[in-house]
Amino acid sequence: QVQLVESGGGLVQAGGSLRLSCAASGSISSINDMGWYRQAPGKQRELVAGITSGGSTNYRDSVKGRFTISRDNAKNTVYLQMNSLKPEDTAVYYCNAVIVTRTLSIGSHWGQGTQVTVSS
């Protein structure tokens, strides 16, 4: 019983900012890597940013300097702060987490996605 719930998406103008949140809940023992992915219509899902349990981060080149991924382990939550948004950032954003449950199973879990639309 593990769920990831995303929030924070919406419609913004180019140059604006948005902060996405993804909270994990359920029978969680620990959370390893977490990440944000996005998928635009007709395109493959792509990694936007990732963060390890120790806080190491990585970003795709197109968002470096604009997006910041962070996590709050006490809240089982990962965030994506998005600044200087561009129309090409428009997509459904999904969070992902590798989670160890209290029964010691391990697996990759996805959130339901949240729509981000950037207008020009």
Average pLDDT for residues 84-93, to the nearest whole number? Answer: 98
The answer to whether the CB of 87 falls within 8 A of the CB of 62 is no
pLDDT of residue 80: 98
Read off the pLDDT of residues 24-57 as tens digits, 9 standing for 90 and up: 999 999 999 999 999 999 999 999 999 999 999 9
Residue 62 predicted with pLDDT over 90? yes
